Structure 1
Amino acid sequence: MEPKVNYVLVGLFVVVLSAVLLGIVLWLGKGEYGTVYDRYYAFMQESVAGLSVNSPVKYRGVEVGYVADIRLNPENPEEVRLTLDITRGTPIKEDTVAVLHVQGLTGFAIVDLTGGTRDSPPLTAKPGQAYAVIKTGPSLLARLDSAVSRLLEDQSLSRLLANLTTLAQDARGVIDQENRAALKQILSDLATVSRTLAARSGRVDQGLTGAAQTAEHLAKLSRTLNEQIPALLERVNRSAASLQAMTEELARTGKAIGALVNETKPNVEQFSRQTLPETSLLIAELRQLTATLQRVARQIEREPNALVFGRSLQPKGPGE
């Protein structure tokens, strides 16, 4: 028995499903179809390998459009003309620069827009141009290629490589059998010194400890000196001030003595002319008197009774 099929329901289901699919497609494409683009030209003087139609155009990392066309410049075959569709409202200024940027190791390239300062005027098409032309700059690979080319063309690099080659040859000549043996002996001596130091690590530690203590004592001494030096300097300053005052006082005293000498100079001269001779006579007489008194004293010591009875007469000798 064959089942009965309601073709009306089947047809209705297909129509509804198709309408849903169409609505989903329209909803997904609503944003893209509703976007308005402005067209620009960009002329590249380097290879655009890896760049294709519909490749994204990014402004500071934000996707703002796509590459609409890639072809050689009809007016200059050394350039590649890129047609860029960029979302209207993107701040494309006169100082905006388009740079080819290769992403990763895949070789897939995009157009990256940089620049566009706030004070720069918007970019517009000049007379005779179909679309406004965005300035272009060399990509990273182009800059590296140019730098390497200049480096290879520079003769100094060749001289440097020749010098390095000569240096390597000289090094091989220097490190001969004898020098290698000497180097081996030096390494052996260093190993011996290392073992000796390891065996005497205790003494080394003690030495380091002593050095640390010495440094600490020096630091304490330095702190003590720093504390005492200001007081010592103050004492020295006071002593210097006292010495200066004493010097000034001595100077004043010397001046006073000089003035006194000048005042008494006439009296001293008169004393020297008159009084000194008389004083000399007086001293001579005093000397004579002293000699006489000494004789008298000796006589009294020999004959004490002579002071009362007078001097005794000397007995006369025979025949007197």
Structure 2
Amino acid sequence: METKANYVAVGAFVMTCILALVITILWLAGTQYSQEYDYYQTNFHGAVTGLGKGTAVRYNGIDVGRVDNLQFDPNDPQVVIATLQIQPGLGIRTDSVSSIEPQGLTGTSYVEISGGTKNAPLLTAEPGQKYPVIKTAPSALQQLTRGAPELLAKLNTIADRLAAVLSDENQKHLTSTLANLDKTTAALAARSGDLDTSLANLSAASKGLPETVSNANLAMLKIQHFADDADGFVRGDGLAQLAGLISDTRRTVTSLNRLTEQLDRQPTKLIFGDRRKGYTPP
């Protein structure tokens, strides 16, 4: 009887523990499912490798929800519609954007939502939309992948140009140029004394340059004064006086010419006068 009683007690204890565990699980599940969420949609163009139902959703790097569903856009098979289950009251803005970001080296990814700006209005569903739609942007890895072909093409072009520059013919030219440069450097080194002398002469000449400039300025001032005096002479009475002097000189020269002509014709007349009598009427 005691053995059976112990089995009954143990069985009752085990059943009680199982029942308590079931109640706890149901309570936790009920709490989880009774919690309200906000739902958003975001449309990814291209592959969504690493995403799946239950994938983490982060808001500025903090876990705020999960991916609830993934489906193709019926109008465009290149677009994948992701339904996001996010904790309420998060306040996603109209300028917020979502992107797929890789998570380490495991090959998994997560959805990252940027915070947007505080002055932007809250994101709401437009007419005809089931949930508000968050704009998408390519991740850094996607941008790098999209730009890889162009980058490779540029690298190939650079490699071809380097190969052309480093051709055998160009290497010969470069070797010849370096040899000529070496000769020129040696010649300059041999004439370093002459160069030093030339530099010293140039330095001495440059020291006398201010005095030369000063003399030139003085000469220019004298020329300016002369020009001012000439201008004053022309504009004042000097020109009129000079004209009068020239006129008098001309008259004097004319008189001298006449006198010279008379001397040539009658030289005695100037000395003895005119002895001819004039006509006297009877």
The residue aligned with 1:16 is 16
- Report the equivalent of 1:61: 61
Is 1:98 the counterpart of 2:98 in the alignment?
Answer: yes
- Residues 38 and 85 in structure 2, CA contact (< 8 A), matched pair in contact too: yes
Q: Which moved more, 1:61-70 or 1:16-25?
A: 16-25
Secondary structure at the residue paired with 2:135? Answer: strand
Q: CA offsets per residue over residues 69-112 of structure 1, 9 Å max, x none?
A: 11211121121111111111112111111110011111101000
Answer yes or no: is the 8 Å Cα contact 2:59–2:115 preserved in 1.
no
Contact 1:96–1:135 (Cα < 8 Å) also in 2: yes
The sequence identity of aligned pairs, in percent, is 37
Which consecutive aligned stretches of 4+ in structure 1 deviate over 6 angstroms post-superposition?
Answer: none
Q: Is the 8 A contact 1:46 1:142 kept in 2?
A: no
Contact 1:57 1:111 in 2 (8 A): yes
Residue 65 (structure 1) shift = 0.7
| Residues 278-319 of structure 1: CA deviation (Å, up to 9, x unaligned) | xxxxxxxxxxxxxxxxxxxxxxxxxxxxxxxxxxxxxxxxxx
Contact kept? 1:91, 1:116, Cα under 8 Å: no
Q: Aligned equivalents of 2:166 and 2:31: distance in 1? A: 67
Could you tell me whether the CA contact under 8 Å between 1:103 and 1:110 is conserved in 2? yes
Which letter maps to 2:4?
A: V
In structure 1, give the amino acid aligned to 2:163.
T
| Residue type of the alignment partner of 1:85 | Q
3-state SS in 2 of match to 1:134: strand
Equivalent positions of 1:78-227 (< 5 A) are: 78-153=78-153, 157-170=155-168, 173-174=171-172
Distance in 1 separating the partners of 2:159 and 2:114: 39
The two structures have a TM-score, normalised by structure 2, of: 0.55
2-structure distance, mates of 1:159, 1:33: 59
What is the CA distance between 1:147 and its match in structure 2? 2.1
Deviation, 1:174, is: 4.6
Q: Which digits, 9 at most, give the CA deviation of each residue in 1:138-196, with x for residues without a partner? A: 01221001222333455xx5442211112333499559xx99xx9xxxxxxxxxxxxxx
Separation of aligned partners in 2, 1:145 and 1:137: 14
Quote the residue 1:25 is aligned against: 25
One-letter identity of the residue aligned with 2:39: R
Judged with a 3 Å threshold, the aligned counterparts in structure 2 of structure 1 residues 62 and 30 are, in CA distance, closer, same or farther, namely farther
Superposed CA RMSD in Å reads 3.0
Counterpart residue identity of residue 129, structure 2: Q
1:5 aligns with 2:4: yes
SS of the equivalent of 2:4 reads: coil
| TM-score of the two chains, using structure 1 as the length reference | 0.49
Cα pair distance change 1:172/1:5, threshold 3 Å:
farther
| Separation of aligned partners in 2, 1:95 and 1:171 | 58
Counterparts of 1:33 and 1:22 in 2: how far apart (Å)?
A: 16
Cα pair 2:65 2:85 within 8 Å, conserved: yes
Query: In 2, are the aligned partners of 1:45 and 1:80 still within 8 Å (CA)?
Result: yes
Aligned to 1:314: none
Q: Which amino acid aligns with 1:5?
A: K
Q: 1:240-319, aligned counterparts within 5 Å?
A: none
Amino acid at match of 2:81: R
Unaligned stretches of 5+ in structure 1?
A: 183-320
Kindly state the Cα deviation for residue 19 of structure 1 after the two structures are TM-superposed.
Answer: 2.8
Give secondary structure in 1 for the equivalent of 2:118. Answer: coil
Distance 1:173 1:22, change over 3 A: same
Which structure: larger Rg?
1
Does residue 72 (structure 1) correspond to residue 60 (structure 2)? The answer is no
CA distance in structure 2 between the partners assigned to 1:168 and 1:27 by the alignment: 76
